[in-house]
Amino acid sequence: MPAQTTNEVKSKLLPAGTQAPDFTLNSKPDQKISLSALRGKPVILAFYPADWSPVCGDQMALYNEVLPEFNKYGAELLGVSVDGAWCHRAFSEARKLRFPLLADFEPKGAVAQKYGAYRDGDGITERALFVIDKNGVIAWSYCSPIGVNPGADGILQALEDLPK
């Protein structure tokens, strides 16, 4: 693991106030999800570098546990990485994930690029979080150092801060 810093990395993410770029990605080998189809409720978009990180309670496993708290705000959670739909399926089954993982696989990282969350050269996405309001506007974004699991506190605060 690279040396971890506690400083927020210098971020090129789309900031709050920006219309969230629409996308359609595979959530299963035979199923797609479009962001625009979720209009009307808050959406949490969690970009993460890769499936199968070798720790207990990694970021996606944590969110799986915190899902009931996200649901209190009526929010939909979408995990996004450059892994393919079959890889996501195996990972999701192994971790018993109860929310969709989207495959930003072809063209690789294209959605992450639009959100300013792609790491050129590394070929993976940042650990980047977005909370999108019910009108499809980014209400909050945060880029965590790649080695640091950002937890869920920022997301919950952003959901809390959405106009009721």
Partner 1 sequence: MSNLKNPVTPTDHSQGPEDAPATLVEYGDYQCPHCVHAHSIVKRVQKHFGKQVRFVFRNFPLSQIHPEAEGAAETAEFAAAHGKFWEMHDLLFENQEQLSDSLFLQLAKKLKLPIDAMESALESGEFATRVGSDFSGGVRSGVNGTPTFFINGRRHDGPFEYPDLVAAIEDAIGPAKAVVNG
The answer to whether 143 touches 122, Cβ cutoff 8 Å, is no
- Applying CB under 8 A, the site for partner 1 has a residue count of 25
The answer to whether 159 touches 75, Cβ cutoff 8 Å, is yes
Binding mask 129-148 for partner 1 (x = CB under 8 A): -------------------x
Question: In 3-state terms, what secondary structure has residue 73?
Answer: coil
Q: Please confirm, yes or no, whether 87 is among the known catalytic residues.
A: no
Residue with tokens 């207990």: 56
Site for partner 1 contains 149 (CB under 8 A):
yes
What stretches of 2-73 show up as alpha helix (H) in DSSP?
59-71
124 CB-near residues (< 8 Å, 6+ apart): 49, 50, 81, 82, 109
* Catalytic position from the list 56, 153, 163, 164: 56
Nearer to partner 1, 35 or 127 (CB): 127
Residues numbered 7-36 forming contacts with partner 1, rule: CB under 8 A: 7
Among positions 20, 46, 49, 64, the unique one binding partner 1 when judged by CB under 8 A? 64
Question: In 3-state terms, what secondary structure has residue 70?
Answer: helix
Among positions 69, 110, 114, 136, the unique one binding partner 1 when judged by CB under 8 A? 69
φ, ψ dihedrals at 118, nearest 5°? -100, 140
Site for partner 1 contains 153 (CB under 8 A):
yes
Active site residues: 56
Binding residues for partner 1, rule: CB under 8 A, are 4, 6-7, 55-59, 61-62, 64-66, 69, 95-96, 98, 148-154, 156
